[in-house]
Amino acid sequence: MLTFLQQPWPWYIAGPLIGLTVPALLILGNKTFGISSSLRHICASCIPANISYFKYDWKNEAWNLFFVFGIFLGGLITAQLFTDPNPVEVAPALAEELAGYGIVDYDNLVPEDILNWQSLFTLKGFFLMVVGGFLVGFGTRYAGGCTSGHAIMGLSNLQWPSLIATVCFMIGGFILANLILPLILSL
């Protein structure tokens, strides 16, 4: 059982489990799935500012904070108890391409060759971590939700704006991965 938990779950197990989250939330409490709104709830509960965006009854959404805390706690438990000690498997063609950019360490889920405190102060690290983080936050706010909210919850509810947002997420991801990321990694 421990070996099963240490490996990535196949799509036919993980996909339905994620998919069943949507009807479970709707049936059990008429709640919608999404992660990005939890930051607004945290700010509304902790910041006593007179900002209209944070003036609402965040206590009605406290379940979302518990949900996000459960994700955080599950990540901690998994990292401590179920971590696979083997290096991350990368396809040989991809490993060869990444080696051209100086990325050769696959001991962790995120290559430390590009995401570490030292590279934060380089041009490449600044683009990957600071600019990338800003664009993710801005895009989430501009789209009215994150990929989990739109692609999982919105599409299952047949919401037209979620379809548009998900298509834009995918197009942006393809453009970034194939055109922009190689430019940034070559800096």
CA angle, 9 then 83 then 90, to 5°: 65
Tell me: the pLDDT tens digits for 108-133? 878 888 888 888 899 999 999 999 99
Contact between 37 and 149 (Cβ < 8 Å) = yes
Tell me: the pLDDT tens digits for 53-110? 888 888 888 888 888 899 899 989 988 888 777 788 889 999 999 999 989 988 887 8
CA 143 to chain centre: 15
pTM of the full predicted structure?
Answer: 0.76
pLDDT, average across residues 4-14: 83
Nearest to 68 by CA among 39, 45, 28, 31: 39
Tell me: the pLDDT tens digits for 140-180? 888 888 888 888 888 888 899 999 999 999 999 999 999 99
CA distance 52 to 55: 5
Share of the chain above pLDDT 70, in %: 100
> What string of DSSP letters covers 99-161?
HTTT----SSSS-TTTSSHHHHTSHHHIIIIIIHHHHHHHHHHHHTS-HIIIIIIIHHTT-HH
Evaluated on CA atoms 179, 181, 186, 187, the torsion sign reads positive
